[in-house]
C-alpha cells in the first residue's frame, strides 16, 4: 500500500440512488456506472485543478510537489468533484465506461495511464492527503490507502466555441471490505471536472442605471453578479461590485424600497431551497445595511426557492439562469 492523494469537487436525467450523499448529484456530462453510489461530493463556483498529461515519476516531499515527465496543465473554472463507489466492479471497467461516455460527447484523451508503457515503472504515490478532500465525504481515505497496482488515471478534454471542459478520472480497487477506510469490495472513481466556459458565462454585471431601467420597464431586475458557494448563504467577495451598484441605485432614489428575493434551481428539494433562498436574500440585505449604509426599512428579504424559474431546470444552462437574486419594488 502507498498513500495516494485525495480528490476533492458528472448530469444525465437519472434519479439519485437512495444511498447517495444528501444534496449530491451526477454531473451533466456523465451518468454513472451501473450500481455505483456517490460517496464524496463538492462543487466550487471557481477554482483551479492541475490535470495530468504524462507519466508520474515521483513525489518531491521537500517541495510537496508531484513530478511528471511533462508538466500538468492547470485549468481554472467551475469545479465539480464526485467520488463513486461501485461494488463488484474493477477499476479498469469504470475507467473504460467513463471514457466511452465522454468520447461520445466529443472528448479527446489527453492522457491514459492504462495505455502508458512507462506508468508501471513508478509508484502511484501521488501526494499526501490535503485540504482538497470533498467537504461531503462518506468513504474516507479510500484513495489515500488504495493499492498502487489498481490505480488507473485518465485526463480528457473538449474544446468548442463556448470554451473548454477538462475531466480527470482516477479509479482504484479494494479487494475486500475494510471498516477502517469505510470501503467495500469493488472499485472507486474520483471524477474531477473543470468548466471554463461555465465560469465565464456566470460573471455578469448590471449597473445602477441598468437596474433602474429594468425596474421601470419590467417591475423587477434579475441579478447574477451575487455569488455564493453551493448550498451556502455566505456572500463571496466577487459580489461586491454588484452590491455597490444596488446601493448606488437606492441612494439615487431615496424613496425606493425593494424586496430582495432569492431564487434557486430545483436541486435539493423545495424545503431546503426555500430556506437557502431566504438566507441568501437576508445576506444581501445585511450587507447593504452594514457595509453601504442603506436604511434597513427600505429592504425586505424573501426567498422563493425554485417556484419562479426563468428557464428549464432540465440542464445546467437553465439552472444557472434560475439561480439569481431579484429586486422587486414595494
Q: Given this model, what pLDDT does residue 198 score?
A: 47
Distance CA 137, CA 125 (A): 21
Q: Does 18 or 75 have the greater pLDDT score?
A: 75
Q: Given this model, what pLDDT does residue 208 score?
A: 92
Q: What's the mean per-residue pLDDT of the chain? A: 83
Catalogue all structural domains in the chain, each as residue range(s) with its CATH number: 37-199 (no CATH), 204-329 (3.30.1330.60)
State percent of the chain over pLDDT 90: 44
Q: Does 151 or 286 have the greater pLDDT score?
A: 286
Nearest one of 321, 249, 236, 238 to 283, comparing CA atoms: 236
Quote the pTM value. Answer: 0.54
Q: Given this model, what pLDDT does residue 297 score?
A: 97
The answer to whether residue 280 scores a pLDDT higher than 90 is yes
* Half-sphere exposure for 282 (CA within 13 Å, toward CB): 9
CB 108 within 8 A of CB 158: yes
Query: Using 50, 70 and 90 to split pLDDT, how confident is the model at 135?
Result: low
* Of the candidate ranges 4-13, 43-52, 54-63, 88-97, the one whose mean pLDDT is the lowest: 4-13
Dihedral angle at the C-alpha atoms of 236, 242, 244, 246, nearest 10 degrees?
Answer: -120
Structure confidence by residue, pLDDT tens digits, 79-121? 999 999 999 899 899 999 999 999 999 999 999 988 888 775 5
Structure confidence by residue, pLDDT tens digits, 153-204? 899 999 876 678 999 998 888 888 877 767 788 899 989 999 886 444 444 6
Starting from the edge strand earliest in sequence, which strands make up the sheet with 221-223, in order? 221-223, 324-329, 258-263, 299-303
Amino acid at each position: 500500500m502507498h498513500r495516494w492523494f485525495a480528490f476533492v469537487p458528472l448530469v444525465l436525467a437519472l434519479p439519485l440512488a437512495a444511498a447517495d450523499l444528501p444534496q449530491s448529484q451526477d454531473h451533466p456530462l456523465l451518468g454513472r456506472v451501473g450500481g455505483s453510489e456517490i460517496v464524496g461530493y463538492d462543487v466550487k463556483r471557481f477554482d483551479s485543478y492541475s490535470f495530468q498529461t504524462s507519466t508520474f515519476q515521483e513525489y518531491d516531499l521537500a517541495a510537496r510537489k508531484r513530478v511528471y515527465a511533462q508538466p500538468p496543465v492547470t485549468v481554472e473554472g467551475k469545479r465539480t468533484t464526485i467520488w463513486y463507489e461501485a461494488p463488484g466492479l474493477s477499476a479498469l471497467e469504470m475507467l473504460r465506461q467513463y471514457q466511452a461516455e465522454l468520447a461520445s460527447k466529443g472528448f479527446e484523451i489527453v492522457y491514459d495511464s492504462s495505455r502508458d508503457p512507462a506508468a508501471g515503472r513508478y509508484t502511484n504515490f501521488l501526494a499526501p492527503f490535503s485540504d482538497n478532500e470533498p467537504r461531503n465525504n462518506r468513504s474516507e481515505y479510500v484513495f489515500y490507502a488504495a493499492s498502487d497496482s489498481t490505480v488507473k488515471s485518465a485526463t480528457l478534454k473538449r474544446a468548442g466555441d463556448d470554451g473548454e471542459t477538462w475531466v480527470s478520472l482516477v479509479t482504484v480497487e479494494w479487494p475486500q471490505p475494510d471498516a477502517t477506510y469505510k470501503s467495500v469490495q469493488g472499485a472507486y472513481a474520483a471524477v474531477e471536472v473543470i468548466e471554463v466556459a461555465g465560469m465565464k458565462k456566470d460573471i455578469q454585471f448590471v449597473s445602477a442605471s441598468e437596474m433602474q431601467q429594468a425596474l421601470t420597464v419590467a417591475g423587477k431586475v434579475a441579478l447574477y453578479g451575487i455569488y455564493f458557494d453551493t448550498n451556502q448563504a455566505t456572500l463571496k467577495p466577487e459580489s461586491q461590485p454588484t452590491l455597490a451598484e444596488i446601493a448606488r441605485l437606492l441612494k439615487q432614489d431615496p424613496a425606493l424600497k425593494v424586496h430582495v428575493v432569492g431564487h434557486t434551481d430545483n436541486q435539493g428539494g423545495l424545503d431546503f431551497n426555500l430556506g437557502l433562498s431566504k438566507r441568501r436574500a437576508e445576506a444581501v440585505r445585511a450587507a447593504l445595511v452594514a457595509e453601504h449604509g442603506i436604511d434597513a426599512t427600505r429592504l425586505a428579504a424573501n426567498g422563493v426557492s425554485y417556484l419562479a424559474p426563468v428557464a428549464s431546470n432540465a440542464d445546467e444552462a437553465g439552472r444557472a439562469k434560475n439561480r439569481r437574486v431579484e429586486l422587486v419594488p414595494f
